[in-house]
Structure 1
Amino acid sequence: METSAFVDAVRRLIEGDPPDRDRPVIMEDPQGTDLHALVAALGSWAGRHRNLAAGGFVDPTLTERTGLPLVEPFGAGELLEMRGWGHRNRWIGCGVVASPYGPRTVAVIAHREDPASAGFPEGASWAEKLRIVTGWEPTPGPRVDWSTIEADLGTRLPSHYKEIVDLFGAGSFDEYFALVVPGGPGADQNPWKTYGPDLASGGLLPWGWSEFVPGLMWSTGATDPDEWTVVTQSECGEERHFDCGAGEFILRMLTDVQLGYPMSHASGHFFVSHGPLGM
């Protein structure tokens, strides 16, 4: 089975019924697809992966929220490599396992618990709530030079937005919408440089976009940027105003069915990383 055919088979399985909580589904590629090619093919839509096992060594810190269900089906010394992704109520993994006939390439689909099932700790920030809802585990990497960007703009940006960007980096939530992230793939170091140094007049400043909501904006009239509220713009230019900041709005897009966005009805939530910032 060629890599593309194997990946197609994996995706069909992901789009079908979720796996039983105690019975992960293991697919073996009879042709022994190269693991790097398989990771690249899955990563092209699932985003940046997590390393769960490498060189026969399984990460001993793995938990239910970081990918443990993908390695549990294998016995001691059996699992050689495993890469994993969280996707709604499923874990997706691809790796290499030992067998009497030599190493074999496998894909694993396992049940994923709702990372937010225990609720939020008291006083959690919007960034922390989003981390819990998506099950995101931050990865080391370059951070945005906010002081330079804000000096160019002549204003601070909302602190909760900066915290979210610093925690998640460039990527998309539920493959549904993405943040404006300075230095992200295809983005300038200062994506707002054309907006000029004076935003005090109450203009609109973009902070994200999606297929269904092409314009996610801040109304910048408030003196304190942490009080900037959200304005959405449709393709036809229709505006809706929300009395909340970007962090609260993102969480509500994902979880509040009353707000009316499709992803609030999803079986789980996830973040697709587009890789490290090009700082």
Structure 2
Amino acid sequence: MDHLVGTQAPERRTTDPAEALGHLERAVPGLAALRFPEPRAIDWQRVEAGLGTALPADYRLLCERYPPFVLGDFLGVGGLSPGNEDAWVQGRYELLETVEEWCAEADLEVPLHAYPVPGGLLPWAVSSQGDFLLWTTDPAEPREWTVTVASRSSAWWHYTGGAVQFLADLVGGAVEPWALPRVRPVVEEW
């Protein structure tokens, strides 16, 4: 039986994408070594047209500045690169099928749904164990989206900050990794 573990909130929500990225670089010292000298030109219009929504600016900046990477030999982040926009969007839709199944099977007091249902969950990272990190796409403004964790162990929980801040807080220890292992501040290109 699935259960909602709870909600965690950052001490202060970081809304500036560059500030959130700096926070992540401090939490994961090796990340800066992977940073591209110049931001990559990802076709965001193509991505957003394919998804039917814009994406949060912190995640966009993360994809422009870094190659796809793995945190702590556990969590795969990114994957969106110039030239693979269509494949990345298609990959989200394939993941959404699993997310919808998990949502349908979850016995939660407040039902969750996969995107594109208004407020639905949209995957942005996956663990090596099959856990999902998802955006809760409500309210409609992507800069206000929060994070929902769906663990393979049937525990669901929320974080009221953005994706990049979540990563920094998870690795830095400001967030309890409910139903996930501790994620070490070790990074490697994916």
Fold similarity call, TM over 0.5: yes
By how many angstroms is 1:131 displaced? 2.4
Q: 2:44 aligns with which of 127, 146, 159?
A: 146
Report Cα offsets for 1:241-262 as digits up to 9, x if no partner. 1111111110111011551451
1:91-106 map, 5 Å: none
By how many angstroms is 1:199 displaced? 3.1
Taking the aligned partners of 2:165 and 2:57, their CA distance within structure 1 comes to 13
Q: Any idea what SS the aligned residue of 1:221 has?
A: coil
State the TM-score, normalized to the length of structure 2. 0.64
* Number of the residue aligned with 1:175: 73
Taking the aligned partners of 1:183 and 1:258, their CA distance within structure 2 comes to 29
The reply to whether residue 238 of structure 1 matches residue 134 of structure 2 is: no
* Number of the residue aligned with 1:130: 24
Number of aligned residue pairs: 147
| Structure 1 residues 258 and 213, CA gap change in structure 2 (3 angstroms) | farther
By how many angstroms is 1:128 displaced? 2.1
| Structure 1 residues 213 and 259, CA gap change in structure 2 (3 angstroms) | farther
Question: Structure 1: where are the runs of 5+ without partners?
Answer: 1-122, 275-279
By how many angstroms is 1:224 displaced? 0.5
* Number of the residue aligned with 2:188: 272
- Comparing both structures, which one devotes a greater share of its residues to helix? 2
1:58-97 map, 5 Å: none
| Structure 1 residues 166 and 270, CA gap change in structure 2 (3 angstroms) | farther
State the TM-score, normalized to the length of structure 1. 0.46
| Structure 1 residues 193 and 144, CA gap change in structure 2 (3 angstroms) | farther
- Comparing both structures, which one devotes a greater share of its residues to strand? 1
| Structure 1 residues 168 and 244, CA gap change in structure 2 (3 angstroms) | same
The root-mean-square deviation of aligned C-alpha atoms, in Å, is 3.1
* Number of the residue aligned with 1:106: none
The reply to whether residue 203 of structure 1 matches residue 120 of structure 2 is: yes
- Tell me the percent identity: 23
By how many angstroms is 1:227 displaced? 0.7
* Number of the residue aligned with 1:221: 138
Runs of 4+ in 1 over 6 A off after TM superposition: none
Name which one, 1 or 2, has greater alpha-carbon Rg: 1
By how many angstroms is 1:144 displaced? 2.6
Q: Any idea what SS the aligned residue of 1:202 has?
A: coil
Which amino acid is the alignment partner of residue 182 of structure 2? Answer: P
* Number of the residue aligned with 2:3: none
Taking the aligned partners of 1:213 and 1:247, their CA distance within structure 2 comes to 20
Relative contact order: is structure 1 or structure 2 higher (C-alpha 8 Å, sep ≥ 6)?
A: 2
Q: 2:169 aligns with which of 236, 246, 252?
A: 252
* Number of the residue aligned with 1:188: 87
| Structure 1 residues 244 and 213, CA gap change in structure 2 (3 angstroms) | farther
Question: Structure 2: where are the runs of 5+ without partners?
Answer: 1-16, 97-114
Report Cα offsets for 1:27-84 as digits up to 9, x if no partner. xxxxxxxxxxxxxxxxxxxxxxxxxxxxxxxxxxxxxxxxxxxxxxxxxxxxxxxxxx
Q: 1:162 aligns with which of 55, 60, 66?
A: 60
By how many angstroms is 1:165 displaced? 1.6
